[in-house]
Copies of this chain bind each other. A is one copy, B any other.
Amino acid sequence: MSTTQVIVLNGGSSSGKSGIVRCLQSVLPDPWLAFGVDTLVDAMPPSLRDAGADGIAFSPDGEVAVGEQFRTLDAAWADGIAAMARAGARIVVDDVFLGGPASQQRWRQALDGLRVLWVGVRCDPAVAAAREIARGDRPSGMAAAQAEAVHRGVAYDLEIDTTHTEPLDCARAIAARV
């Protein structure tokens, strides 16, 4: 019997989270909803990406900075995900813990009382940087900047490494723990 209610995947840009999520939706027997940090960013007004907007800024070297407005909406978003899970939907969330353990703590508070599987998605920084070139739709440098930083101080139930393992195999390893 599946008892996990929320799966949280944390990993840097181009570490392979999205492919794993799609495979998870395919291999898990029940229907799981998949939401990611991209879902939230796409839901925000474009003006929050403007310079000096206190929203979210992607610098040319791959750094990502978030401001107060972003954090407020991000917190509301996490509360919304938690409410969906409490209403009975199984949910996979992928995120990039730019704040490391503080990011995890925010999710812990929002998901309080729910059964959560915490998964770290690692990838060798050089390989992630190469995949960033291959996908061609991300600012150059994000993959390398985030590959290790997002995991520092974060605690997981399971860690997977996509450097030499296909997304489907990673998904199966996660599904075995759900």
CA distance A76 to B133 in the complex (A): 26
Contact A134 B47 (CB under 8 A): no
Interface assignment of A166: CB less than 8 Å from any CB of chain B: yes
Asked if A152 CB lies within 8 Å of chain B CBs, one says no
- CB pair B19 A31 closer than 8 Å: no
Partner of A76, one of B45, B75, B79, B87: B87
Tell me whether B45 and A134 are in contact (CB under 8 A): no
- DSSP class of A's interface residues: helix, strand, loop or mixed? helix
CB proximity of A170 to chain B, nearest CB, Å: 9
8 residue pairs, one from A and one from B, having the closest CB atoms: A83-B83, A19-B134, A76-B89, A80-B84, A25-B45, A76-B87, A130-B168, A134-B167
A–B Cβ pairs within 8 angstroms, 13 of them: A19-B134, A20-B134, A23-B134, A33-B44, A33-B76, A34-B43, A80-B83, A127-B166, A130-B166, A131-B166, A131-B167, A131-B168, A133-B168
